[in-house]
Amino acid sequence: MNLPVQFAPQPLETSSMPWIPLGPGESFKPLRFLPNGRALLLRLEPGTLVPRHRHHGEVHAFNLAGQRKLLESGEVVGAGAYVYEPAGNVDSWMAVGDEPVIVHIVSFGAMEYLGDNDQVLRRDTASSLRDIYINHCREHGLTPLNLGGDVHS
C-alpha cells in the first residue's frame, strides 16, 4: 500500500497579520492561495454591504465573530454558523449588529460582482487577491509570506 507523501503542517499566526483593505468597511487576511481558490479571513465593519455577486465555484464560510444578514433569505447568521454556497450561487449580505463580522472563507473559482442588469462590475480571483496582498506588503514595507501562489483562476 502506497501512502501519500506527508508534509509538515505550516502554522500561520494570523493575529500579527494586517487587515488588508478591499473596499470601504471590508478587509481580509489571506491564509492560502490555491491553484483555483483561496482561504482567507474576511472582516466587515457593522453596516457594510457585500453587494450582489456570483460564485463560479463552491464557497465554505464559517462565521467566527459578529452577525451577517443574508439578504436573499433575510436569515441572520451569527458566530459559529457555517454557510455553504454551491457554484453558480448569486447572493448578497451585510454585517449587522454592533461588532465587526469575521468570516473564515474557503472558495474556489472566480467571484463576480454584478450590476443591476447582471453586468460584471468586478471579478475577484485567487490571483487578483494575491496581487492585492503582494502590493499591500510592498507599499507597507512588509515581507510577503509564502501563502502559495500557483494560481490560475
Q: Which domains does the chain have, with CATH numbers?
A: 21-139 (2.60.120.10)
- Of all residues in the chain, the percent with pLDDT exceeding 90 is 78
Give the single-character DSSP code of 14.
G
Q: Give whole-number Cα distances, 27 to 22, 39, 64, 72, 129, in Å.
A: 5, 14, 15, 23, 11
Residue type at 14 in one-letter notation: T
Mean pLDDT of 1-16: 74
pLDDT score at 148: 87
Q: Which runs of consecutive H residues, i.e. helices, occur in 6-82? A: none
Model confidence at 35, pLDDT cuts 50, 70, 90, reads confident
pLDDT score at 8: 64
- Of all residues in the chain, the percent with pLDDT exceeding 70 is 92
pLDDT tens, residue by residue, 102-143: 999 999 999 999 998 989 999 999 999 999 999 999 999 999
